[in-house]
Amino acid sequence: MNGLSAADLFGLFGHFVVLSLLAVGGAITTASEMHRYVVLQHQWISEAQFNASIAIAQAAPGPNVLFVAAIGWNVAGPAGAFATMAGILLPSTVLTLWATRWAARNREHRAVRAFVTGMAPLTIGLLLSTGWVLADPYLREPNQRIGAIGLIGVTIVAILRTRISPMWLVAMGAAVGAAGGI
């Protein structure tokens, strides 16, 4: 749906501003909320477009945040890509610059150490919710469920037990999907 009104574009930008401040561990950790907003709530794009936006951008060279531009592009063309990227980048960049300088000056404070320690479980939880959103369509389909569970299992074991690059796992998933396995 490329014909969003200025108010809708501003709303899209504003939503991504908020997500920017919640994106601990990277923008991908908020993909489940992006999905809820653009697919479920506003129905600007389909489930397939959302998943393709993430898959294509993650497979492309460059920063992982490119999927945000792909989602915005699918929602409203160049204006949507600009709204989502500006929204996701501006607040987190400003906050990161300020917080990094502040934390460097105060790194010995107990609160700073506690904050840094507390971010790990938060990031893991956000990544798990994103994984769930991306896997859910395949887990719901009876003819794809076994393959999806198998691929998820292999990925988890490989990540926990080896030092293999995640890109090899992405390539494996792409090969299985291209072969019609999922």
Q: What are the CA-CA distances from residue 163 to residues 153, 155, 167 (Å)?
A: 16, 12, 11
> Would you list the DSSP string of 95-106?
HHHHHHHHHHHT
> Would you list the DSSP string of 100-154?
HHHHHHTTTSHHHHHHHHHHHHHHHHHHHHHHHHHHHHHHHSHHHHHHHHHHHHH
> What is the model's pLDDT at position 94?
93
> What is the model's pLDDT at position 181?
62
Torsions phi, psi of 138, nearest 5?
-80, -35
> What is the model's pLDDT at position 123?
80
* Spatial separation of the C-alpha atoms in residues 125 and 107, rounded to whole Å: 25
> What is the model's pLDDT at position 127?
78
Within 8 A by CB and 6+ apart from 2, the residues are 76, 77, 80
CA-closest candidate to residue 42, choices 9, 89, 90, 88 = 9
> What is the model's pLDDT at position 98?
93
**pLDDT tens string for the chain (182 positions)?**
467 999 999 999 999 999 998 887 789 999 999 999 999 999 999 999 999 999 988 888 888 899 999 999 999 999 999 999 999 999 988 988 998 899 889 989 998 888 888 887 888 888 788 888 888 988 998 888 888 888 888 888 988 899 988 888 888 888 887 887 65
